[in-house]
Structure 1
Amino acid sequence: MEKVEKNWLEWGVFGVSLVLVLGTLAYLVYEATTMGNQPPIIEAQLGAPQQQAGEFAVPVTLINRGDQPAAGVTVEVTLEGSGGAAAEIERGEFSVPFLPRGATREGRVSFRADPRAGQLKARVLGYEQP
């Protein structure tokens, strides 16, 4: 049986494949060893209200600063009056199905009243650990 020698292209493909596989394994080992056990820390940031078709849309950005993912994240945004008493004018909420660790997701809440005339507050109502 005659031994067939590999040409330079086969060796090149083998080398690149080996580097990619070893790099992927090194990354997975690094991620597994450095991941902490901190629960999801979800921060809600409000953007500037935008008037659209007679309503006011308020962008909301969710950031998970924890080490674990969160599922079924529910966020509530309230519009309160600017008078002496903090009377709630309107309330809206939305859900994000899945928020991985270190990830950012965006959503919008619509109000009939102008949010610039009052005070907006956002809070995370709850989430599940998948």
Structure 2
Amino acid sequence: MDIPLILLVSGIILIILSFFFGTSSRKHEDEIENISISLHQETNQLKKRLRAIEEELMISVGPIPKGKQPKTKPVHEIIVNQILSLQAQGYTVPEIAKRSSLTNDEVLDVLKSRGVLL
């Protein structure tokens, strides 16, 4: 027999066999798809529950009492050095605030804490 004829016959046999064994892989694909769908549904349910809990937490938080308001966050040391340098150069508080992206009160607090202003 010729090699091309052997290859042709074996190819036809393999194609026929692939129809019989192809159904088992389809079952696995269906199982994976079902698992994927159920996972997606569970994720959506968890997101809804999380949103509900977040809303409950936000509703239960009332206004902060005046005596317990959080202090302003500390100014970074680099900004403090910049403020001191600008003040030493003769800039006014509003100019320093504009250049350092802080409020006038924050600049005054920094200058007072460093003993520059009394």
TM range (shorter): 0.3 to 0.5
Structure having the higher helix fraction is 2
Structure having the higher strand fraction is 1
Structure possessing the higher relative contact order (Cα contacts under 8 Å, 6 or more residues apart): 1
**Structure with max Cα Rg:** 2
TM-score (norm 1): 0.36
TM-score (norm 2): 0.39
